[in-house]
Structure 1
Amino acid sequence: MSFVPNEESGIKVLYEDNHVLAVEKPVNVPTQEDASGDPDLLTLLKQDLKIRHQKPGNVFLGLVHRLDRPVGGAMIFAKTSKAASRLSEAVRSRSFRKLYAAVVHGSPGAPAGRLEHHLLKDSRTNTVSAVKSGTAGAKQALLDYRVVGEKDGLSLILVELHTGRPHQIRVQLQSIGCPLYGDQKYGAEVNRPGQQLALWSLLAGAPHPVSKESLLFRSVPPHQFPWSAWPEEIYEKALPDELV
């Protein structure tokens, strides 16, 4: 089932059944409640489910992965506690697939490759830094990337995450000299205030928590700069037909 729910929520639903809800997260909406007090995606979806399905009492919706506030695109939620447990296990076992598009300044040293860093989060400043292996509190971060376009000093990169660390893509790409377009936190020296962070969740996929069927949910970025610097077909071609 694929549809756009009521106008009140304005959030595009990519798929829904009794166990799973997949949506296209709008940019600049927090995934869950934060200190800003702004409306967050998890709460908005719970309210939408309550209205559309006329559910009494509290609505369960499990958050199994996250996107940074400035990031838009495909996300998967669990509608039951059993589904939440099984999807969370898929994340831990790395059978949960996450594919992103990113526009960065400059170009990596190779057209494709794997990046491995150890990242340390500073909760006081909500920033993450790449540190030496063995640093107390640091966690391994692993991703694969492929450059699919270059134009006017910018590169369009496809990123497949193998771990899910906070700000992982932003910090790892900045660490190799390729800060994301619009990233004020990790690229203020090359970005201007007001630019939208160019990171998009193209695909989220996992085995269905009950049927074990391969689920793939796709979303393409809006046709506006910097995404519009490349033809829309480039994003469509990046999306696989099935989970592998």
Structure 2
Amino acid sequence: MAEKVLSNKSNLNVLYEDNHIIIVNKRVGDIVQGDKTGDKPLSDVVKAYIKEKYNKPGNVYLGTVHRLDRPTSGLVIFAKTSKVLPRLNKLFVSKDISKIYWAVVKKQPPKNEDTLINWLKKNPKNNKSYAHNKEVTDSKKAILHYKTIKKLDHYFLLEIHLETGRHHQIRSQLSTIGCPIKGDLKYGFNRSNKDAGIHLHAREIQFIHPVSKKPIHIIAPLPKDPIWDACLP
């Protein structure tokens, strides 16, 4: 039986854990893996949590399966064993993991629900992806499905099903239809959020456990702020 825990130790919010997998709810501002900033990555925090909880001697193994942008929040999956890491990677490559995001935007989308297909080209100099309507050199096809699920006082809440996982995909594609995400200065929103984050949250994930073969369905609680609070029923 999988062990489910809720832990806020070291500001770590663990939503699911078993012998093979650990899923956490990333905060705005946390980085998943180390980068040039030198800030402590979430992967190190998770390793420390595992080491202390199970009193493990020596180094703790942890495999990073996927990433979330630093200003976003929500579900991140890590592999606790080298055996399960390639299996999880395969689930992502074969699109056998269902990923749902919530995004808050200022402008109502052109359609209540739609599929966006673009070709994204990353510019490493400014760490930004540009969406094109047709294939260009070094671009990658990006597909997402969105629908408007709630109208707030000044914003709109979108639910997004991500079919491909490209660099800044949701941010870039929503900006292309005139709907930049709240707080996302890089992609056209007019002002930043106080916490330097953006209102994009990896809300829900579903997949078949690669070892136990049991269905896994996790929903990540939203960050606490007035806008996200207004998104709940």
- The TM-score with structure 1 as length reference comes to 0.89
Shift of 1:222: 2.6
Which is worse superposed, 149-158 or 115-124? 149-158
Shift of 1:214: 1.2
Report if aligned partners of 1:4, 1:10 keep a CA contact under 8 Å in 2.
Answer: no
Deviations 1:152-211 (A, max 9, x none): 4411000010111111100000000000000011124x2246353100111122211112
2:171 is paired with a residue whose SS is helix
Q: Which residue of 2 aligns with 1:54?
A: 55
1:228 is paired with a residue whose SS is helix
Q: Whole-Å Cα distance in 1 between the matches of residues 57 and 110 of structure 2?
A: 55
Q: Which runs of 5 or more structure 1 residues have no equivalent in the other structure?
A: 234-244
1:122-201 map, 5 Å? 122-188=123-189, 190-192=190-192, 194=194, 196-201=197-202
Q: Which residue of 2 aligns with 1:86?
A: 87
1:85 is paired with a residue whose SS is helix
Report if aligned partners of 1:25, 1:73 keep a CA contact under 8 Å in 2.
Answer: yes
Q: Which residue of 2 aligns with 1:4?
A: 6
- The TM-score with structure 2 as length reference comes to 0.93
Q: Could you say if the C-alpha distance between residues 154 and 212 of structure 1 is closer, same or farther in structure 2, counting changes exceeding 3 Å?
A: same
Q: Whole-Å Cα distance in 1 between the matches of residues 36 and 178 of structure 2?
A: 31
Report if aligned partners of 2:25, 2:220 keep a CA contact under 8 Å in 1.
Answer: yes
Q: Which amino acid counterpart does residue 85 of structure 1 have in structure 2?
A: P
Q: Whole-Å Cα distance in 2 between the matches of residues 60 and 192 of structure 1?
A: 37
Q: Whole-Å Cα distance in 2 between the matches of residues 81 and 206 of structure 1?
A: 19
Report if aligned partners of 2:4, 2:18 keep a CA contact under 8 Å in 1.
Answer: no
Which is worse superposed, 172-181 or 33-42? 33-42
Shift of 1:96: 1.1
Q: How many residues align?
A: 230
Q: Whole-Å Cα distance in 2 between the matches of residues 155 and 191 of structure 1?
A: 17
Shift of 1:3: 2.2
Q: Whole-Å Cα distance in 2 between the matches of residues 193 and 169 of structure 1?
A: 18
Deviations 1:50-91 (A, max 9, x none): 111111222111111111111111221111112110110000
Q: Could you say if the C-alpha distance between residues 134 and 192 of structure 1 is closer, same or farther in structure 2, counting changes exceeding 3 Å?
A: closer
- State the superposition RMSD in angstroms: 1.6
1:73 is paired with a residue whose SS is strand
Q: Which amino acid counterpart does residue 48 of structure 1 have in structure 2?
A: Y
Q: Which residue of 2 aligns with 1:18?
A: 19
Q: Which residue of 1 aligns with 2:67?
A: 66
Deviations 1:123-163 (A, max 9, x none): 12111111253311100111110101123441100001011
Q: Which residue of 2 aligns with 1:242?
A: none
Q: Which runs of 5 or more structure 2 residues have no equivalent in the other structure?
A: none
Shift of 1:6: 6.5
1:185 is paired with a residue whose SS is helix
Which is worse superposed, 179-188 or 169-178? 179-188
Shift of 1:27: 1.2
Report if aligned partners of 1:75, 1:204 keep a CA contact under 8 Å in 2.
Answer: no
Q: Which amino acid counterpart does residue 191 of structure 2 have in structure 1?
A: N
